Structures are given as C-alpha cells and as structure tokens.
C-alpha cells in the first residue's frame, strides 16, 4: 500500500469575503487523499457519521483512493467545522467546532493498513498519531505528520515524542516559532531537526514554503493568484501533493523533495480557487503539469555573466 493517511473527513461551513457555503465536504484527510491520488494510490483511515451520504462519499470515487478505512458510525454525526476569513485570508477565525464522531476516533488498522509505504499522520492529537505509527508492522519508508497550535499548547510533550519518531514534519511558520520559542525561523527549524526528523517543511501561507534539511534550504513561493477564493484545505492539499508525489518515486533525494514541494504548491494553488474541493474535482494531471511549468517561469532566473 503506497500511502496511508489518518485524519479527518468533515463537513465545513465557510464564509470568505467572496462567498458563503453552509455545508460542504472538508477535513484534512479528504483534501490530502484527493491531492495525493493524482500521483499514487492512497488508503484513507477516518470516521464519519451516518449524515455522510453516498453523494458526499463520491468525492473519493474514480480516484486511486481506498475508502475501506472510512468508518461510518450509525446514529452519530460527522465532524463539523465552521470558519470565517476576512480580507487577510491567511487567518481563519473558527466560529464553531463540533467533534461529533471524531471525539472518540481511535483507529484500529487492518493488516494491509499496517504495511504502509508512506504514512501521513494528519493533524490529530499526538498520542493518536503515535498509536497509529506504532501499529505499523515495519517502519514505513516515509513517516510524515502535520500538527497545529492547539497541540503545542496542551500536548507539547506528546507532540515532541512524535516529532522524534517521524522523518518529515509539515508545519506552519508560526508553529515553528511557538514550538521552539525562537524568533529566527532557520534556527527554529534546526532545533526541530535536532530532535530527529530529516526534513522540515514550513508552510508560510501566501508566501509559499521553506524546506529545511540538514544539508539544504529550499524556498518556493506560493503561486500568485488574482482570485483566491477560500484558503480552507490549502495546507492539507499541499501535504497530499507533496507526499503523493514522493510516494510515487523510488528515491527520496533533495531533487525529488524539491519537485514534491512544487507539486504540493501546485495542488494547493488550485484548492484555494473555489470552495471546498470544487476546484480539485475539476482538474486533471495535465493541469497540474501545466502549472508546474508556470512555477518554473515564476521562479526562474539565469546565472549572471561575469
């Protein structure tokens, strides 16, 4: 099994300066799976209530996504998040969070799920991330995680334990500073790498991504869109494109990591163009490749003449 993702499938209510939707599909594992499935096979482990219909589940159809790990709990409701953005689309204001089925989420992996090639621990509580990792029969080739400010606030020790066991951390800029209490981002990154991971991928919203490894730093801008509609899911989409691409490659070199960062950025740039996964549903791998080339044009400069 190439990529296993454990995270949330949710309903979102969203309001941005450009529109409003009362109920649409969201959740970290949803965005991740759809994005990663452009490159490789994905297995999803998540939980929903019986309000999650077949029509809702159609988001996963016709893609390389194994939904046998999507558990449906009768008589209960799906995780619900309501958020609002002002003109500064970098900052979401949470209006409501109803954990519902997600409150008791404690996945028991199947035999095949215990043999992931790449494991992505989406933003869930750190003990659960660790539990999922420890259910693996052998060490996956790549173990990556995302997290959030809440866990740094209330579960810092557990989070540090997971950090020590993963290969790759995908994290926001502000979270690096919060976790390390270090204003300088590069110093902060180095102190997280010192815990064990080989690669830190720092998300900077509209400013793109900074990847820090022991040997190199790689900076990628975000794609400069004239119409950013809804930033929800951009980070999870990025992670999906990034790990989906890596999952499809045999080597984990600096060269492939950089390509993966660009593919993640490309996918995320589509997600923000419409509400929910509406834009991701429309695009093809050809659109992805085209925008990859646009990223080359966006960032390329020639060597100087002496």
Pick between residue 55 and residue 183 the one whose CB is nearest to a second copy.
Answer: 183
Q: Establish if 274 lies at the interface with a second copy (CB under 8 A).
A: no
In contact, 279 and 273? CB cutoff 8 Å: yes
Cβ at position 135, least distance to a second copy in Å: 33
In contact, 184 and 173? CB cutoff 8 Å: no
Pick between residue 156 and residue 207 the one whose CB is nearest to a second copy.
Answer: 207
Residues paired with residue 118 on neighbouring β-strands, in sequence order: 3, 142
Select the residue interacting with a second copy from 53, 94, 227, 250 (CB under 8 A).
Answer: 227
Residues paired with residue 170 on neighbouring β-strands, in sequence order: 146, 201
Q: Which two tokens stand for residue 24?
A: 């649409």
# chain residues binding a second copy, by CB under 8 A: 45
Q: Establish if 194 lies at the interface with a second copy (CB under 8 A).
A: no
Cβ at position 304, least distance to a second copy in Å: 5
Binding segment for a second copy among 109-117, 125-133, 193-201, 253-261 (CB under 8 A)?
253-261
- Torsion, Cα of 285, 169, 85, 181 (10° steps): -160
Pick between residue 134 and residue 296 the one whose CB is nearest to a second copy.
Answer: 296
Q: Establish if 91 lies at the interface with a second copy (CB under 8 A).
A: no
Query: How many other C-beta atoms can be found within 10 angstroms of the C-beta atom of residue 83?
Result: 19
Of the candidates 130, 124, 131, 165, the residue with the CA atom closest to the CA atom of residue 146: 124
Which phi and psi angles does 94 have, rounded to 5°? -80, 125
Cβ at position 271, least distance to a second copy in Å: 17
> In Å, how far are 7, 61, 242, 257, 303 from 186, measured between CA atoms?
29, 41, 21, 18, 26
Cβ at position 232, least distance to a second copy in Å: 17
Q: Establish if 234 lies at the interface with a second copy (CB under 8 A).
A: no
Cβ at position 195, least distance to a second copy in Å: 18
d(CA 155, CA 169): 16
Cβ at position 276, least distance to a second copy in Å: 20
Q: Under the rule (CB under 8 A), what is the footprint of a second copy? A: 17, 87-89, 183-187, 190, 204, 206-208, 210, 216-221, 224-228, 255, 258-259, 261-263, 289, 292-293, 296-304, 306
């Amino acid at each position: 099994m190439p990529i296993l993702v454990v995270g949330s499938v949710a309903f979102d209510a969203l309001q941005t300066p450009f529109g409003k939707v009362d109920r649409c599909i969201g959740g970290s594992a949803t965005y991740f799976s759809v994005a990663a499935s452009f490159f490789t096979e994905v297995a999803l482990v998540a939980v929903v209530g019986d309000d999650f219909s077949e029509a809702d589940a159609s988001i996963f159809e016709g893609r390389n996504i194994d939904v046998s790990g999507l558990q449906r709990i009768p008589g209960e409701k799906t995780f619900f998040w309501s958020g609002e953005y002002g003109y500064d689309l970098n900052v979401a204001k949470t209006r409501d969070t109803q954990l519902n089925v997600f409150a008791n989420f404690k996945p028991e992996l199947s035999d095949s799920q215990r043999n992931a090639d790449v494991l992505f621990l989406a933003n869930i509580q750190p003990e659960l991330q660790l539990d999922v990792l420890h259910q693996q029969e052998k060490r996956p080739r790549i173990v990556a995680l995302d997290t959030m400010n809440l866990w740094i606030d209330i579960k810092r020790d557990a989070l540090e334990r997971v950090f020590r066991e993963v290969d790759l951390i995908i994290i926001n800029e502000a979270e690096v500073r919060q976790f390390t209490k270090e204003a300088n981002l590069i110093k902060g990154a180095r102190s997280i790498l010192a815990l064990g991971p080989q690669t830190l991928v720092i998300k900077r919203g509209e400013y793109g991504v900074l990847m820090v490894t022991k040997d190199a730093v790689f900076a990628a801008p975000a794609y400069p869109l004239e119409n950013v509609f809804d930033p929800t899911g951009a980070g999870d989409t990025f992670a999906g494109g990034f790990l989906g691409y890596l999952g499809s490659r045999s080597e984990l070199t600096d060269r492939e990591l950089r390509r993966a960062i660009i593919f993640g950025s490309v996918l995320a740039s589509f997600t923000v163009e419409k509400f929910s996964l509406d834009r991701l549903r429309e695009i093809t791998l050809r659109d992805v490749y085209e925008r990859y080339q646009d990223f080359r044009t966006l960032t390329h400069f020639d060597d100087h003449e002496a």
